[in-house]
């Protein structure tokens, strides 16, 4: 299989990354195999059924490499790996990398159309590795299918064995799919160099080392899952997999196995913290929460830090640019919450694109090579810089995301421009400052909230806000459903722009008014 990745780092930058030790310094064998030699009986991997030491994991990976070779898998082949959060999938991933194949990742909860899109996008007659339980549902007519469990159950592989040579670290190695900005999933292509750089950044941000036990709830076939597989292998740490998340059961496993690190969607951390708080012993083994995107409510963050002794690590990145910035040792709690962290080694940000003067443009050692479909590259890059769609500021080497290029609240499919509502609120009597933000909502997906700093002595109400907007001609379906009253200036960047992400974190500590359905508990207000 050949993937066109003409937007990979040019030779001069690639040479600099290698000279600075950001690329090319590690080999695959420095991971699982080296850990098996150094600490053979240390826990490497656990799922709901298996617990593997590094000695056992290295043995299974080696056997799987030979078995894949006996089934005709060669360097450069495309292999679609349909993965749940299981030990079999992790073994298959490590084995495929060692054959030199390009691993095309799909989550086990995907549909037949996702498999079809992957095969069509890559224009290959790829082999497919799939859990036996999903084969009939996903691939009833596909000829070249190998069940994941076969890699573990076969006892004597036949045919030529794998050479064991190290693959080209700059070549396409992994493809995962994202559909954040388009209706059609886009294949994000990474090399071993870019993934290793992203994992090294994650280690810097979280302080991960060989005593770390990472707890993975996010899909293995996501950038979070891929980063944690590489982080754990590169630091000789342990990975605990959770395939079907339920807060109380997950908390039991975290405490039983001594899991210390959780990364991924903030909602998972929130549910675990609430589960721990509801227990008599109020115990959780986690020591670090790595959070990107929307932050948790401030009271939960304070509880995590003060009551449970958990360090909050802020992380900024995406499937295309994993772990681009983040908290660093020495950052205090307030620093960790007020921005998106320090730029990682080699990471560069240019502010301003053809679309917006504040759009963040990235390049660096963890940046992907390009998309599997070359047509997707055209809108994603400008002069070799990756367009994030985020509005950012950089001060003193630290990044702050101040909003999105298209800032919206998505209420039951209706996309409401936050900037439009901000503008419509201009002239609101009794308001010194105001800004809109979106909040999660169990009934509508999101609802619109307004943060207001009143003029001294003014008692603003939600009805006042709604009346002002209706008088200005705003459609009823765009009206805010919650008013949050600030007692001081709204959080802003050094240049004076409101940081909406901090409004989302801090609002629970403020007086709030909301529409009846939210008071009745039908949303999140």
Residue 525: predicted pLDDT: 46
Residue 118: predicted pLDDT: 85
pTM of the model: 0.82
**Spatial distance between the Cα atoms of 274 and 513, rounded to a whole number of angstroms:** 24
Among residues 72, 124, 69, 114, the alpha carbon closest in space to that of 95 is found at: 69
Residue 162: predicted pLDDT: 45
pLDDT tens profile 463-506 = 999 999 999 988 888 999 999 999 999 998 766 778 888 899 89
Residue 117: predicted pLDDT: 80
DSSP H/E element including 222: none
| Residue ranges covered by each domain of the chain | 407-519
Residue 25: predicted pLDDT: 87
Asked if 512 contacts 485 with a C-beta cutoff of 8 angstroms, the reply is yes
- Residues 407-519, CATH architecture: 2-Layer Sandwich (3.30)
Residue 125: predicted pLDDT: 61
Burial state string for 68-87 with b = 16 or more CB within 10 A and e = fewer than 16: bbbbebeeebbbbbbbbbbb
Residue 521: predicted pLDDT: 74
Which regions of the chain are under pLDDT 50? 157-163, 180-181, 525
Residue 32: predicted pLDDT: 98
CB burial of residue 356 (10 Å; 0-12, 13-18, 19+):
middle
Name the β-bridge partners of 51. 46
pLDDT tens profile 227-270 = 999 999 999 999 999 999 999 999 999 999 999 999 987 778 98
Among residues 345, 357, 362, 356, the alpha carbon closest in space to that of 397 is found at: 345
């Amino acid at each position: 299989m050949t993937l066109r990745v003409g937007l990979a780092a040019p030779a001069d930058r690639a040479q600099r990354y290698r000279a600075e030790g950001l690329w090319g310094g590690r080999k695959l064998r420095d991971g699982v195999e080296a850990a098996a030699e150094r600490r053979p009986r240390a826990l490497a991997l656990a799922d709901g059924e298996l617990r593997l030491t590094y000695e056992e994991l290295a043995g299974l990976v080696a056997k799987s490499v030979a078995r894949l070779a006996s089934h005709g898998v060669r360097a450069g082949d495309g292999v679609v790996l349909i993965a749940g959060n299981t030990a079999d999938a992790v073994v298959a991933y490590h084995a495929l990398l060692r054959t030199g194949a390009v691993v095309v990742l799909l989550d086990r909860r995907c549909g037949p159309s996702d498999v079809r899109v992957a095969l069509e996008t890559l224009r290959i007659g790829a082999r497919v590795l799939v859990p036996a339980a999903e084969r009939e549902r996903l691939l009833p007519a596909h000829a070249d299918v190998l069940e994941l469990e076969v890699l573990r159950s076969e006892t004597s592989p036949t045919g030529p064995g794998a050479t064991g040579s190290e693959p080209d670290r700059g070549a396409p190695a992994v493809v995962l799919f994202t559909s954040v900005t388009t209706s059609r999933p886009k294949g994000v292509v990474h090399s071993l160099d870019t993934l290793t750089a992203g994992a090294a950044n994650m280690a810097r941000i979280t302080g991960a080392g060989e005593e770390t036990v990472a707890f993975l709830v996010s899909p293995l076939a996501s950038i979070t899952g891929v980063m944690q597989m590489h982080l754990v292998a590169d630091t000789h740490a342990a990975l605990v997999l959770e395939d079907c998340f339920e807060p109380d059961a997950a908390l039991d496993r975290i405490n039983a196995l001594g899991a210390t690190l959780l990364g991924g969607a903030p909602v998972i951390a929130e549910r675990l913290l609430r589960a721990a708080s509801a227990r008599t012993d109020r115990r959780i083994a986690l020591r670090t929460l790595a959070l990107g995107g929307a932050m948790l409510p401030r009271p939960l963050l304070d509880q995590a830090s003060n009551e449970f002794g958990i360090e909050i690590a802020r992380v900024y990145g995406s499937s295309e640019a994993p772990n681009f910035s983040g908290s660093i040792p020495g950052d205090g709690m307030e620093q960790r919450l007020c921005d998106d962290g320090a730029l990682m080694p080699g990471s560069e940000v240019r502010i301003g694109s053809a679309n917006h003067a504040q759009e963040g443009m990235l390049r660096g050692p963890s940046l992907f090579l390009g998309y599997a479909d070359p047509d997707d590259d055209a809108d994603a890059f400008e002069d070799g810089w990756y367009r994030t769609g985020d509005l950012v500021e950089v001060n003193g080497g630290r990044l702050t995301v101040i909003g999105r290029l298209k800032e919206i609240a998505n209420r039951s499919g209706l996309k409401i421009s936050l900037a439009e509502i901000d503008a419509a609120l201009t002239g609101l009597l009794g308001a010194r400052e105001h800004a809109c933000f979106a909040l999660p909502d169990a009934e509508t997906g999101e609802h619109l909230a307004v943060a207001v700093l009143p003029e001294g002595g003014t008692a603003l109400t939600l009805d006042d806000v709604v009346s002002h907007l209706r008088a200005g001609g705003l459609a009823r379906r765009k009206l805010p459903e919650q008013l949050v009253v600030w007692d001081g200036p709204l959080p802003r960047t050094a240049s004076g722009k409101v940081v909406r992400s901090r409004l989302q974190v801090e609002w629970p500590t403020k007086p709030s008014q909301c529409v009846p359905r939210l008071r009745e508990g039908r949303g999140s207000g």
